[in-house]
Amino acid sequence: MPYDKNNIFAKIIRGEIPCKKIFENDYVLSFHDISPQKKIHALVIPKGEYIDLDDFNKKASDKEIIEFHKAVSHVSNLLKASEKGYRVLSNIGSDGGQEVPHLHFHIFAGEKIGKMVI
């Protein structure tokens, strides 16, 4: 499946759709989820065109992979999520429940996150 340049996160990266930005650098963008499922619900996405984690790990440069993973911790720190803990989650493909076909990590925090899988 080719990358869909019209997915909603691609539009956010291009600035065609607004987002509540938390952090941005050359490699990564982070913003609040539009429909938060916990008190804190942030998303971290790479700026490159990657469908999911498998696609990213196959095609991204080492620098992109390092920057993406570092950004998850950086954003968690900015949100003070690291203090009491948080959950990072990435849905992959249809069985994984992925709705937006651009790699994203969810960060849930600010309260007890609960069961790992519902």
Least Cβ distance, residue 22 to ligand AMP (angstroms) = 11
Contact range with ligand AMP by CB under 6 A, out of 61-69, 73-81, 91-99, 109-117: 91-99
Length of the chain: 118
Q: Check if the beta carbon of residue 87 is closer than 8 Å to that of residue 50.
A: no
Report whether 50 contacts 7 (CB < 8 A).
no
User: Under the criterion CB under 6 A, does residue 8 sit at the interface with ligand AMP?
Assistant: yes
As a whole number of angstroms, the distance between CA 39 and CA 94 comes to 26
* Residue with smaller CB distance to ligand AMP, 17 or 66: 17
Interface positions with ligand AMP (CB under 6 A): 8, 17, 19, 31, 33-35, 43, 91, 97-100
